Structure 1
Amino acid sequence: MWEDDDHLCRLLADSLANPVGFLPVQRLNRRVDDILSNIHHFGTNVEVIQTGSWAEGFRMNGTDVDRMYVDKTALVSETPDRIPNRFCSIKMVTSGNIPKGYVKLILLTPNKAEQHIQLAVISEGGNACISSKSYVTSYVQRNEEIHGPCVRRVSQQGTEQDDAHCLRCAHWPSDAMEWRDRRRSHGWPDHDMVKEISKKGCYVVPIGPKCIDGSGCWSFNSMLWRLSFSVVEKRLVYTFNDTQFLVYGIFKLLVKEAFRETRDVLCSYFMKTLMFWSIEETPRELWKQERLISCIKVCLRRLIMWVSDGFCPNYFVREHNMFHGKLDEIDRESLFIHLSELYGEGWRCLLRCPSLGNLKDALQRSRCRILEMPNNAVDPDEDFRGLSLQRRNDSNTFTEDIEDQAFFSQLEGIVQSHPNFRSLENELYNTVALLLEKETQLDYLMHDTVTLYQQKTLQHIAMIFLYKALNDTRRCARYRYGQVKRALDLMELTSSADLTRGRLTLATAYYCMGYYTKALKIIRECENAFEENQAVLYISSRYPNQIGEEYVAFFCNGSLSRVEKASMGVSYDFEVFRTMPILPKEIMLQILLVRQSGTILSFPPRPYALFLKALCFAESHNKSTVKMLRRKLSDILPLYPEAFHLLYIMLAVCDAKLDRYDKAIQNYYFAYWHKKYMTWRKEYCSERNSLNSPLLYVALMLRLLI
């Protein structure tokens, strides 16, 4: 049941590429996340550190984003006299009455403390103690909730993110000295890494240990804080080899899909702890792909032992039992039976995961085929060998195109819903400062990431200049002309950063100012890119990504940087911000009717280019060309089911320009109902809170045009 089979191990490893992740892509995700984090928070009073599964490179369904917000103005220490005077000094107290892994914090310099620390101070025994509960509560805003030591927030895309507001400890804590001095028979982590890690200290997060209150219920001690080693853990995960990282992903998948108990006892963090202990206490020779089954077995046995003992030791503070307050006797027994059943199934317990349904079906079909053969022709390993080879042949693709898609998707996923000049200026400065600071460590990935993000920032700055110039009537004409010129210069500079967004933004700006000939010239450049099959990697934060065979043939030869690939072969949506809408007046209501100020509308590039071209010809009273472009727009409508409501609005505008108002009313009606259908299916949708009355919606749209 747990015997290693080379073909089976390869088959499992290949089958896990989709649910767990493609390992080269996960490494890429980590680097890009770290680079972008430096850009966003370079030089501020708060350091933001991405942690958890997202920072480790996982992109499983349901993977949330965890961040640590570290107050850079304060330092915590067991020897506060060593804290430099420029910091707010906080004493960290440990004693026999405080459980291992937890500390009490005493504020020593209240005049240097920021507001959230001051609000959390409670006098206790003549000391200004900082309450963990009051500290985290001070950060909670409307529609947010406390989740452990974090504030749980919902992003614009509907994903949950846990933000832990915490403080930095300047040294390695005494409770974790055993980890630093621990004897490691198998050399992981090695001595140099342990020495490097222990010099960087740790963090304290605002949550205390669970204890039984006067009513006999579990509650958190509101005056204690927990030691956090999240940054160290991320550093250790980065040292995992491919097999170790794959096993880690398997157990995260099992937690989500197979370890189903009455209570949410097992969590992803326990699986990380399981991996740390298992790797440290087993030989390096075990962690190879051909021994993948044995690796899973070793980890599952250790987990069962922990549940049997009711003790899950924290990796850095061995005496800290992470099951405390989470696993009572009834749940422990139930979980032990459940895990023992899984262990008894051998490696096939993995097939309980719905994410591996394709592998399960393939094994069943292969087994049926073998059983139909004569007995003397049966090879017990044939199904594994055949499926392994078939799997590798089916997934015979270039790693480079998969990595490129992940890279550009990650950059596109960064959404600043309320861009303003000050924040964008800071980020632009940060990109330059980061390149100068990391000059000795500069590689192609860092250069491409920073350069592309810099171009995206410049595009947003240009849109701010243009929006203010077109709408700020209090300024004189000369000033507004200067702003327009600056905006157009920046748009020209960044228009070639990709195939579509930069050019369509510039074309839209020209159209809004009445320069229709210039707009048509830019639109034709976009159309030439489509016709020459250059725009073969389509990246969108709203609609499904698309990658064509041409991209592999033209761009995946290892000789082009990602900046060059973006300018020659990557297509993005045309984006419109609710806070600064730069788009044709004919569809302005589509964004203005949305009540949420942080809304961003995304228009697929090909239909939007056709639509903008039709508007330009309509202004020149060339109705025959408008009619022809309207027909093309109607022909490609079925290709964009996620954007039906936007395309129907484009068709309605074209019909109104052609004086076919009955058709315009019909298409506006279709647009309304497709938008309603979309918002019913997607809880977090840009247009969810827009105008609800179909009659008023259609009337307003037509009033704008007639």
Structure 2
Amino acid sequence: MSLKPDYYQTVSLKLSEVLNDIGVHERMILKRRRMYLLKETMSTCTERLLGRNLSIYHFGSQSEGSTTIGLDSDTDTLTCHKCNVIQHWGEWQPDRRNLLMIQDETTSPGYCLLQCLRNDEPLPICTAVLDHEPDIYHTVIGDKLLLKNTLYRNVAVEGSVINGPAASMQGLPGFSDQDYVAALHCNSWPAEAQPWLLRQGIGRWPTEDVKRYCENTGCFVVPVSSKNGQHEELEWRISTSQAERCLMFSLNITQLRCYILMKMILKTFINPGCNGVLSSFMCKTVLFHCIQNTHSNNWVQSNLLPCLMCCLTVLKNFVRQENCPHFIIHENNLMSERISLLNKYKILEILQNIIQSEGHALLEIPIDDLGTRLMVKMNIDGAFQYHKTPAQIHAQISAQLLLDIAGSVGASHKFLNEEINHDDGNAIVRENLSNIILTLTKMYREVGFRSLEKSALKLLAPPLSSSLGSVIASHNIYTAHSISPDALAWFSAGLNSDVASGRLKLASALYCVGDMERAEFVLRNTKEKYDLNTVEPECECYNHPLNYPRQGFMHKFNTGNEELIQHKTAFCVRFLQCEINCVPEELQYEMFRSTQEDRLERDELSDTWMDCAVVDCLPYLYFLQYKTYRALQRVADQQCALANLVTTIETELNLGHRETALNLLGQCMEKENRHIDALHCYMISLNMRARNNAANFLICRLLNEIVN
């Protein structure tokens, strides 16, 4: 590929070392893939526990392992709604919502229309006998009742921006962008993609086995039309995302590194000045074409730079022709009407300069300090050392992946709690929770021993068990002022959800029933397990930026996976209103934090947690210790717990409910007759959250006591 083989080989090997140092190596890629596949499995399991036939997928760079810390890739979440989308009448099924894919001279390549069919026999719905005009989700063309692609626009996530088929969450400090895509699944392989199964390049890739697997994944249809389609509200894009993920999983490390370098070049040199007209998906498509059309022995570490130049050359040719053929559906041009003439010339010039630089342009890439690191590896004068070692980077990636999984567990538990919560109280919530746990147990028994589904269900079971124990105990305390063996058994099953939240729910119930000795024992045991140097709080109640994980936390995860959640993370402690008898009076105020006026300021979707009592583990641990030692008249221990509560609020950076911790501290100060300090706590709490804060009531109560 070059007249300077020694130079290209040297740069390629050094570049491979740099990418290895920033976490692009086989072990980390496999870890990324496992964690994101586990996340999507957990989301799907959560829906199934509620009886919903939905499947959740996380596509894109995160689940492929084709990203780095500096690329900060977004998360593409696809929610697959269960309809029977068919391409042939033989695929029709009774008592299902059947939709027939239609492709004709009016539809763009890679797109289709969806015709609504009857569910009692394989026939179209007769538009002549419709009782009423087609609604906002359907339209009639000729004798066909067609489904509009605007169907899912109304269910976009609050605060999101519609971007093609996706609702994008953007602009949240400390968070990557997230794209939410609704889709329908078709079990059969797209007719337009049949030629791909027979196509074979000189690279002998993909293999026949990979193609067969891809074919068996079928396809999705997503609600978006082509740029130049005739039916803006009716066209649905045919997506082969599952097949593309399979293709990515079949790549070797050099091919993945090549793709990552292309994305860095795109982000550094091209898209900032060209309105982001080229996408990472185009880079992926270019890579696929290159792999298919080059010999497989080219894709080795010592040939990384020539492989990159080959990909950039193909990308340049695609831009020149304004045609980037979809790898699987060739007729679908990914660049159709995307690139203006001005941007086209800009991109061609940039790509030409990068290609001619023979790798020197890579020295200018700031992402992950790639350029600086390469200069150091090449002993180029003027290079300076970077501040993160490979070990630190690998630890940071592993820690973030673990926090992501812990976040998924917390989010699923929160979601399930919200779905089963009921205004009619304890008995119905108890029944709902019992049914969910019964369903979970059945699912667990039915799946394979080493499956991701089994791992996901093992993570979801303990927090649900703690919740059921607390719901039962709350009823026990109300009716008999005791905790039944049934409740204690469920509490026991939930102790190892994480470091502290399950234990704190048990301790809270024991305190409320007046069993101070056992409450003290559980709290002491919890404090011993809660290593302040390594345990990280995890709150999924609302989106709030997290500070950098503590060093001790990060260093624990290079060799472990999701099983470390129970040892090194602490979920926030959540009580539904039907658990009120397991909640000390001071925390009960949080369940009634919102006045009618406050409720008008709440987000209906994301602020439902405000009807619960929710508190971070560590401050709640010290608060319960303060209350328990006070009841036991152990004054020195009581004051130590109070001091620890103050220190935690002041120094723990990642508290999700600091205002609640301050409200608890203020009420402790009232018990100490330190009314000015209590008022100070409430005022700081209000500065953090002015609305929907129990401090508003607590201040009024305190002032009333002082005055009277």
Establish whether residue 274 from structure 1 lines up as the match of residue 291 from structure 2: no
Query: What residue number does 2:423 align with?
Result: none
Query: What residue number does 2:305 align with?
Result: 293
C-alpha separation between the residues in 1 aligned to 2:246 and 2:274?
34
The one-letter amino acid of 1:147's match is: N
Distance 1:452 1:82, change over 3 A: closer
Alignment of 1:95-174 (within 5 A): 95-109=104-118, 119-133=136-150, 135-137=151-153, 139-140=155-156, 143=159, 146-152=162-168, 161-174=178-191
> Which 10-residue stretch deviates more, 574-583 or 453-462?
574-583
Distance 1:199 1:651, change over 3 A: closer
Alignment of 1:262-411 (within 5 A): 262-356=274-368, 358-361=369-372, 371=381, 391=389, 408=406, 411=409
Query: What residue number does 1:23 align with?
Result: 29
Distance 1:399 1:312, change over 3 A: closer
Choose from 608, 626, 634 the match for 1:597: 608
Say if 2:84 and 2:98, in contact at 8 Å, map to a contact too.
yes
Choose from 213, 219, 222 the match for 1:205: 222
Distance 1:566 1:392, change over 3 A: closer
Number of equivalenced pairs: 654
Establish whether residue 698 from structure 1 lines up as the match of residue 685 from structure 2: no
Say if 1:29 and 1:410, in contact at 8 Å, map to a contact too.
no
> What does the per-residue CA deviation read over 1:251-310, in whole Å, with 9 as the maximum and x for residues that have no partner?
344444443234231123222222322222222223333333233222222212211111
The one-letter amino acid of 2:630's match is: A
Shift of the alpha carbon at 1:541? 3.8
Query: What residue number does 2:204 align with?
Result: 187
Shift of the alpha carbon at 1:572? 0.9
Query: What residue number does 1:450 align with?
Result: 457
Query: What residue number does 2:41 align with?
Result: 35
> Which 10-residue stretch deviates more, 138-147 or 102-111?
138-147
Say if 1:46 and 1:72, in contact at 8 Å, map to a contact too.
yes
Q: Specify the SS of the correspondent of 1:210.
A: coil
Distance 1:574 1:507, change over 3 A: farther
> Which 10-residue stretch deviates more, 255-264 or 297-306?
255-264
Shift of the alpha carbon at 1:397? 7.1
Say if 2:76 and 2:178, in contact at 8 Å, map to a contact too.
yes
Establish whether residue 3 from structure 1 lines up as the match of residue 8 from structure 2: yes
Q: Specify the SS of the correspondent of 1:243.
A: helix
Query: What residue number does 1:376 align with?
Result: none
Query: What residue number does 2:573 align with?
Result: 575
Shift of the alpha carbon at 1:313? 0.7
> Which 10-residue stretch deviates more, 182-191 or 397-406?
397-406
Distance 1:413 1:360, change over 3 A: farther
Shift of the alpha carbon at 1:204? 1.7
> What does the per-residue CA deviation read over 1:493-530, in whole Å, with 9 as the maximum and x for residues that have no partner?
22144331211121122223333332211101112334
Choose from 47, 53, 57 the match for 2:61: 53
Say if 1:76 and 1:167, in contact at 8 Å, map to a contact too.
no
C-alpha separation between the residues in 2 aligned to 1:143 and 1:632?
38
Identity of aligned residues (%): 18
> What does the per-residue CA deviation read over 1:342-382, in whole Å, with 9 as the maximum and x for residues that have no partner?
434443434544432x4445566788x8759xxxxxxxxxx
Distance 1:517 1:454, change over 3 A: same
Choose from 250, 273, 298 the match for 2:261: 250
Query: What residue number does 2:414 align with?
Result: 416
Query: What residue number does 1:627 align with?
Result: 639
Q: Specify the SS of the correspondent of 1:50.
A: strand
C-alpha separation between the residues in 2 aligned to 1:500 and 1:333?
59
C-alpha separation between the residues in 1 aligned to 2:392 and 2:533?
25
> Which 10-residue stretch deviates more, 121-130 or 31-40?
31-40
> What does the per-residue CA deviation read over 1:595-629, in whole Å, with 9 as the maximum and x for residues that have no partner?
53235886554443222101122344554543333
Shift of the alpha carbon at 1:387? 7.7
> What does the per-residue CA deviation read over 1:108-139, in whole Å, with 9 as the maximum and x for residues that have no partner?
21779999x97522111122222223x23454
Distance 1:103 1:633, change over 3 A: closer
C-alpha separation between the residues in 2 aligned to 1:106 and 1:26?
39
C-alpha separation between the residues in 1 aligned to 2:643 and 2:668?
10
Query: What residue number does 1:652 align with?
Result: 666
Shift of the alpha carbon at 1:659? 0.9
Say if 1:539 and 1:545, in contact at 8 Å, map to a contact too.
no
C-alpha separation between the residues in 1 aligned to 2:53 and 2:615?
37
C-alpha separation between the residues in 2 aligned to 1:415 and 1:702?
38
Say if 1:537 and 1:551, in contact at 8 Å, map to a contact too.
no
The one-letter amino acid of 2:572's match is: F
Establish whether residue 80 from structure 1 lines up as the match of residue 58 from structure 2: no
Shift of the alpha carbon at 1:161? 4.0
The one-letter amino acid of 1:56's match is: E
Say if 1:136 and 1:150, in contact at 8 Å, map to a contact too.
no
Distance 1:611 1:344, change over 3 A: farther
Say if 1:106 and 1:128, in contact at 8 Å, map to a contact too.
yes
Say if 1:14 and 1:391, in contact at 8 Å, map to a contact too.
no
Choose from 69, 74, 84 the match for 2:79: 69
Distance 1:301 1:426, change over 3 A: farther
The one-letter amino acid of 2:9's match is: D
Distance 1:337 1:82, change over 3 A: same
C-alpha separation between the residues in 2 aligned to 1:426 and 1:150?
34
C-alpha separation between the residues in 1 aligned to 2:375 and 2:554?
36
Say if 1:579 and 1:598, in contact at 8 Å, map to a contact too.
no
Shift of the alpha carbon at 1:590? 4.6
The one-letter amino acid of 2:111's match is: Y
Say if 2:590 and 2:693, in contact at 8 Å, map to a contact too.
no
Distance 1:348 1:433, change over 3 A: farther
Q: Tell me the TM-score normalized by structure 2.
A: 0.79
> What does the per-residue CA deviation read over 1:424-482, in whole Å, with 9 as the maximum and x for residues that have no partner?
5565345434433333xx228654443222112222333444556678xxxxx36x978
Say if 1:28 and 1:407, in contact at 8 Å, map to a contact too.
no
Q: Tell me the TM-score normalized by structure 1.
A: 0.79
Q: Specify the SS of the correspondent of 1:22.
A: helix
Query: What residue number does 1:492 align with?
Result: 492
Say if 1:104 and 1:129, in contact at 8 Å, map to a contact too.
yes
C-alpha separation between the residues in 2 aligned to 1:512 and 1:342?
69
C-alpha separation between the residues in 2 aligned to 1:517 and 1:704?
32
> What does the per-residue CA deviation read over 1:634-683, in whole Å, with 9 as the maximum and x for residues that have no partner?
3455431344645544443332111111222223333333x2xxxxxxxx
List alignment gaps of at least 5 residues for structure 1: 214-219, 373-382, 472-476, 676-686
The one-letter amino acid of 1:288's match is: V
> What does the per-residue CA deviation read over 1:322-341, in whole Å, with 9 as the maximum and x for residues that have no partner?
11132232222222223333
C-alpha separation between the residues in 1 aligned to 2:452 and 2:232?
45
Distance 1:108 1:211, change over 3 A: same
The one-letter amino acid of 2:677's match is: K
Distance 1:224 1:252, change over 3 A: same
Shift of the alpha carbon at 1:15? 4.2
Say if 2:83 and 2:98, in contact at 8 Å, map to a contact too.
no
C-alpha separation between the residues in 1 aligned to 2:638 and 2:346?
69
Q: Specify the SS of the correspondent of 2:201.
A: coil
C-alpha separation between the residues in 2 aligned to 1:695 and 1:20?
53
> Which 10-residue stretch deviates more, 274-283 or 342-351?
342-351
Say if 1:150 and 1:164, in contact at 8 Å, map to a contact too.
yes
Distance 1:501 1:612, change over 3 A: same
The one-letter amino acid of 2:344's match is: R
The one-letter amino acid of 2:36's match is: R
Establish whether residue 438 from structure 1 lines up as the match of residue 442 from structure 2: no
Say if 1:626 and 1:654, in contact at 8 Å, map to a contact too.
no
Query: What residue number does 2:128 align with?
Result: none
List alignment gaps of at least 5 residues for structure 2: 126-131, 421-428, 541-545, 595-601
